[in-house]
Amino acid sequence: MNTSEKLILASGSEIRQMLLRNAGVSFDVNIGRIDEESVKDALLGEGASPRDIADALAEGKARKVSLKNLDAMVIGCDQTLSFKGRLLSKPKTVDEARAQLKEMRGERHKLLSAAVIYENGEPKWRHVGEVRLEMNRFSDAYLEDYLARNWEQIRHCVGSYMLESEGVRLFSRIDGDYFTVLGLPLLPLLAYLSERGVIAS
C-alpha cells in the first residue's frame, strides 16, 4: 500500500480520531456499526475472555467497513474492561455507574484496547494493548459529587470514568500505555502503518 490509497477509521470515537490526527495521520471516518451486545452475549456464552471480546468487536467493525471499501486499509477498534476476570460494560444508568465504581474502589482492573486492520475484506494486523489500573479508596461523598458532575460524559465509557478528565482522581496507580487507556494502542498501530509505508518514518 502507498500513501495515495485510503486509510479509514471505523470508529466514531472523538478521542481515537484526535489521537490519530495529533500523530499526523490522514484518514477518513466510516463508522462500523455492529450489534455489539449480541456479539458480547454470544462470546460470553462461549466462555470468551474480555481480551478476546475486545479483539472480536474491533474485527467486526473493521470487516464491515472493509467489505464496502475494498480499496482501503480499515482500522477497527474496541475496548473492554476486565474486573476479576469479569467483563464490565458501559453503565446504562447513574445507579449502574455508582455500583461499578463502588465495586472497583480500592481494587485493580484491566483495560484492553484492541485494534484490527482489514484490507480487501481480510484481516492483516491486530493488536490488543493492556493497562492495569488501581482505584483509590474514594469516599461515598466524593463519588456522589463525581457522578453528579460527570454523568453525561462517563455514560459512554467502560468503567464509568474518563482518565483524560476528572476520572484520573479515582486512581492511585496506572501501569501501561496512556494511549491504550484512551482506547487505541497507538504506538503499535503507528509502527505498523510506518512499516507498510502508509506514514513516513
Rounded to 10°, the helix 140-154/94-104 angle is 130
- Of 78, 95, 145, 175, which one is the catalytic site residue? 78
The C-alpha atoms of residue 96 and residue 93 are separated, in whole angstroms, by: 5
The C-alpha atoms of residue 53 and residue 49 are separated, in whole angstroms, by: 6
The DSSP line for 99-165 is: HHHHHHTT-EEEEEEEEEEEETTEEEEEEEEEEEEEE----HHHHHHHHHHHHHHHTTSGGG--TTT
Cell matching residue 6: 485510503
199, exposed or middle or buried, with CB in 10 Å at 0-12, 13-18, 19+?
middle
Q: Does residue 78 carry a catalytic annotation? A: yes
**Mind telling me the catalytic residues?**
78
